[in-house]
Amino acid sequence: MNAPVDKGHNAPCSNRDFDFFYRGLEREELLAQKCDGCGTLRTLPTPACGHCHSLNWSEAKLSGDAALFSYVVHHHPPLPGFPAPHPIVVADLAEGERMVGAMDGTDPASLRIGMPLKVEFLRRGDVAAFRFRPA
């Protein structure tokens, strides 16, 4: 029998591209991949850079400052740990990339495209997570 791997987080999925992101959330840090070849940030972790195809990358800490680019309001099906309805947003990060995230705890009727957002860290059960809040 194989010993469990200490991946440093309790997120429900684990792989070599995403583990750093969840370990960052455990420290209340929002991280992205930064290509060692060309410096491009990747907020959706991938094995290779889409610009220069380098496989080498480093962790980059993001500010958590953003602006609301777009959103949908999730009604159904129920998601464990999330009240319904709750907004799911695409945020323009201060660093120039976009990121998808939850915005539960905020009234969907109060959302305005372009409004300033800030990342907030929280726990969903035993899993470290983040969500966007009005800044």
Choice between 37 and 108, CB closer to Zn ion: 37
Give the nearer residue to Zn ion in terms of CB position, either 48 or 111.
Answer: 48
Indicate the DSSP class of residue 22: H
Strand partners, 130: 121
**For residues 53-92, which are near Zn ion according to CB under 5 A?**
54
Given 14, 27, 28, 51, the residue binding Zn ion (CB under 5 A)? 51
> What's the CA gap between 92 and 115, in Å, rounded?
10
Report if residue 35 touches Zn ion, rule: CB under 5 A: yes
Enter the DSSP assignment of 126. Answer: T
- Tell me which of 17, 29, 37, 48 binds Zn ion, using CB under 5 A: 37
Tell which residue, 132, 124, 14, has the closest CA to residue 80.
124
- Residue given tokens 């726990």 in the structure block: 123
Please tell me whether residue 38 binds Zn ion under the rule CB under 5 A. yes
Distance of alpha carbon 14 from alpha carbon 7, whole angstroms: 7
Query: Among 17-25, 30-38, 55-63, 79-87, which window interacts with Zn ion (CB under 5 A)?
Result: 30-38
Total residues in contact with Zn ion, by rule CB under 5 A: 8
CB of 53 to Zn ion, least distance (A): 7
- Which one of the spans 21-29, 43-51, 84-92, 97-105 is the region binding Zn ion (CB under 5 A)? 43-51
Longest dimension (CA), the chain: 53
Strands (E), 63-105: 65-74, 86-93, 98-102
Binding interface with Zn ion (CB under 5 A):
35, 37-38, 40, 49, 51-52, 54
